[in-house]
Amino acid sequence: MNEAMRIGPPDGGRRGCGPLVPPLTDTQRPARLQAFEAIRAAGRIARAQLARDLGISPASITALTAELIEAGLVEEVAAARAEAARGRPPVALGVRAEARLVAGIKLSDREHTAVIADFAGDRRADATLPAQPGARAPDALLAALETLLDEVCARAGLEREALAAVGLGLPGFVDGAAGRVLWSPLLDRRPVDLAAEAGARLGLPVHVDNDANLVTLAELWFGAGRALSDFAVVTIEHGVGMGLVINHRIWRGGGGLGLELGHTKVQLDGALCRCGQRGCLESYIADYALVREATTALNWPHHAGQSQTVLLESLHDHAKAGNEAARTIFRRAGRYLALGLANVVNLFDPGLIILSGERMRYDYLYARETLAEMEALAVDAGRPAPAVQTHAWGDMLWAHGAAALALAAVTEAQLGAGPRHGGGA
């Protein structure tokens, strides 16, 4: 895993997690919530600096932080060495990590992953469970979820009841606010009230979201997007997804179903997509699309029954070895990817585009030619195209995003209502 995405500092210090929101840009949220999030984002921060950042008087900050300390959510910690070198060592504030614990879980058609995170955003444990082929009934998926949760709790030395919430992500069309999955390739019926059904089975609050939003949350909370006000994430693995951050907050659309980049149409009456429609972007660049092309172009009927992962590795090896048919498959997919990215640029003008997912290691698909074609297809406004970064994370990244989903929900429930203190919050 890249350094930018490490959960928890290697030296025992406090790195902080969560969006680094500039002062005075979020005045409609309760001041105690803003104060807590600022403390968590900083890792540790002096009261005086917190007052300056939030534009709140020192007296109000003292009252706010006293309330957070009394609630057991914040604690006094040693200040940084640079601050402590002058005069009496000052006291800083940090999140009391053990105040709340959450689980983040990603379900997929290949393997399920889970992490336990504390209230400061540090990882306590993780676990992986292979997916059972063909197990698409909701009860089967819930059984796998329960088994995985118990396994990761055991690794963390916790009982399930110690958790404040579970964040859960899966591919498909997900109405996160309602906790409902409208369609997913993992489920054999639709819709499914997954948050309610999982919550009843686990005995815990469950918050559900689309898996591409989980990656976006992981970047926003722990990665390259922490200090950016606007950025886009495009995920390419078993499917194609997109997440968008606007003004430091993830954007989901009016009904929670926005940004389905993989299901935008790039060819009328084109290739069949797993959603049931034709001509979707996903049906030209996702894992199953490349495997479908390879099976035909390379005459691979004898590979029937092998996993997509094995077939993709073989296709990549053929391309690197100079097989022109294999290279053509990657080039064609790269052109469709360029088209999709150009549409993202034209629609949203993000400050950064992050290409994320395990598939990023297939460099033939994400070559310079693809990015050059993206720039050629984007509107020429006389200024450089947005920067594009490639993050080749493993599957555990998605679970980290699910943990961020749970942390955000628990924080909002704890601090999102109640008395407000100064600063126009």
Q: Write down all domains in the chain, each with its CATH number in brackets.
A: 3-98 (1.10.10.10), 100-216+397-411 (3.30.420.40), 229-350+358-392 (3.30.420.40)
The pLDDT score that the predictor gives to residue 425 is 27
pTM: 0.85
Distance (Å) of CA 419 to CA 23, 48, 422? 20, 22, 10
- Contacts of residue 189, Cβ cutoff 8 Å, sequence gap at least 6: 137, 138
The pLDDT score that the predictor gives to residue 364 is 55
Q: What is the pLDDT along the chain (425 residues), one digit of tens a residue?
A: 343 444 554 344 567 898 888 765 555 788 999 999 999 999 999 999 999 999 999 999 999 999 999 999 999 998 765 544 555 567 899 999 999 999 999 999 889 999 999 999 999 999 999 998 878 899 999 999 999 999 999 999 999 999 999 999 999 999 999 999 999 989 999 899 999 999 999 999 999 999 999 999 999 999 888 989 999 999 887 789 999 999 999 998 887 788 999 999 999 999 999 888 999 999 999 888 988 888 887 777 655 667 777 888 888 888 888 889 988 998 999 999 999 999 999 999 999 999 887 666 666 556 788 889 999 999 988 888 888 988 766 668 889 999 999 999 999 999 985 433 333 32
Distance (Å) of CA 227 to CA 53, 222, 231, 266, 351? 15, 10, 10, 33, 11
- Contacts of residue 46, Cβ cutoff 8 Å, sequence gap at least 6: 79, 83, 90, 91, 92, 93
Question: Regarding beta strands 352-356 and 387-391, do their DSSP bridges make them parallel or antiparallel, or are they unpaired?
Answer: parallel
Q: What is the Cα–Cα distance from 154 to 146, expressed in whole angstroms? A: 12
The pLDDT score that the predictor gives to residue 361 is 62
The pLDDT score that the predictor gives to residue 315 is 87
The backbone torsions φ and ψ at residue 418, rounded to the nearest 5 degrees and listed phi first, read 120, -170
Give the H/E segment covering residue 236: strand 230-236
